[in-house]
Structures are given as C-alpha cells and as structure tokens.
Amino acid sequence: MARAQIIAIASPLDGVGKTTLAYEVASAFHWTLVDFDWATESARARVCRESQYDGAHLGRALSGDPSEGLTIFSQAPTAMVVDDQPALLAGRLSTCDGPLTPDQVSHQLVKWSRDHLFGVGPMVIDTTAACPELMAGAIAAANLLAMPVRVDIEALGALNSALDLFDLDIETVLVPNFVTSAFESVRADLESIALDIGATIGPQLSYHPCLVTPSAKPLRYLQLETTDVRLARDEFLAIAGALSTRLGK
C-alpha cells in the first residue's frame, strides 16, 4: 500500500499565518491544498477560494464511517485547478450532513493520499483552531506538522500556554513567522518551546509588507516583482523544500 504524504499546517492560535503558509507551500511544488480554514474571509483566502468551491461537498465527503470503508458519502470531491493554482479542495461546514469526528477526517485524508486521488505529491492541509475536530483529524492523518509561530514575546507566551491543550505526537517543524531584527531577543524562548515539544525549527519567514496588507494576495497574483516579493518567494521555496525533505525521511 502506498504511503500517505500529508503535511498539516496547524497551531492552537489563530492569526499566525497558517493560511498564507499552507497556500504558498502548496503552490511552490504544485501540491494539493486541502482547505479546512473555511471561515477565513481574508482577501488572500478569497483569491484562493474561487466561487465554484463554495458548494464543494468536502464536509460530506469526510463524514463516511471508517468501519464501512469508502461509501457514497465519502467519495473524494473533485480537486480543481484554476490559473495554475495548487489542486484545491475547499468547502464550508454547511456542506456536511452531520458532525465530523477526528477519526472520520483522518481516515478519509489518509485514503485519499494513499490512492493518489489528487496527484502523487503531498497534501497540505490548512486548519483552523475554530474547528478542533478538523484540526485533530488533520494532525492524526499527517506525517508532518508545520506550525507557523509569531516571534514576539507575547505570542510565544500565548503559544507556550496553549500547547498544553495540543496533542503533538507527530514530527513537528516550527516555522518562525513575521521575523524582524528583534528575533534574536526571543530566539532562546522559541528554542525552549521546540525543546519542550520535541520539535525542530525550520527556515524562517521574514516580515513582508506584501503579505500583511489588508488586500494581500498570493504571490503569484502580485504584478510588481519587488525585492520584498522576491525574498518572500525565496523563503517559501526554502520552507517547502525543508518540509519536503522532512517528509521523505
């Protein structure tokens, strides 16, 4: 049986850059992006979610009974590719006929990945703390967890407290995000968190104005090839490469 290849992008905190990281990492190598962050209404997310995705039955497709195997209700939805985007699976929870359990979510994700239903590359899953069942299912299915981390003392303190409620029995890579010259003053705090949870620290993502404006869009949609855009693209490629290497071990 083929080995599942799944990267979960997750954090117990919102607003740390999960959607941005998930989309840009999936874009870097044209991997499949599974969008569980259905409530996000940012401009970046709206560009990622074309109107035809709103009716996708992702929730229903995930709600099959694992003990019964693949049923008519757990058929994988069609992944769509628009304008050279990564293959995208997206859908709102309103498309689900009943409550989801982490086991149901995990079972279907692993099956879809092993069956290569969306191509031979990894599946990258964007999660949200607002839906713990989907996040728990994604992490249970994943081979690798990538956790973006805001590197300021307040955010690191909040993360350290929240991790007590977060099951991390999985290889985890912390991705420093919004990095500025002040990072050195909190590097030891981040290294302490990594040591406590047995995680490694991956390539960092600097603070990029092109990614944080209210109208921010995916990098491929930006018309001006500025130094900031080029650096951001290079950093996402480095992160995607590091995650790919970890996934292959």
CATH of the domain at 117: 3.40.50.300
Q: What is the pLDDT of residues 112-136, one digit of tens each?
A: 888 887 777 899 999 888 778 888 9
pLDDT at 142 over 90: yes
The pLDDT score that the predictor gives to residue 248 is 81
The pLDDT score that the predictor gives to residue 128 is 83
Residue 240 lies in a domain: yes
> In which residue are the tokens 């290079």 written?
234
Residue 1 lies in a domain: no
pLDDT at 231 over 70: yes
Q: What is the pLDDT of residues 149-194, one digit of tens each?
A: 999 999 999 998 888 767 678 899 999 999 999 999 999 999 999 9
pLDDT at 62 over 50: yes
Which structural domain, as residue segments, surrounds residue 207? Answer: 6-248
Q: Which residue has the higher pLDDT, 51 or 24?
A: 24
Whole-model pTM: value is 0.86
The pLDDT score that the predictor gives to residue 139 is 93
Domain count, the chain: 1
d(CA 7, CA 62): 17
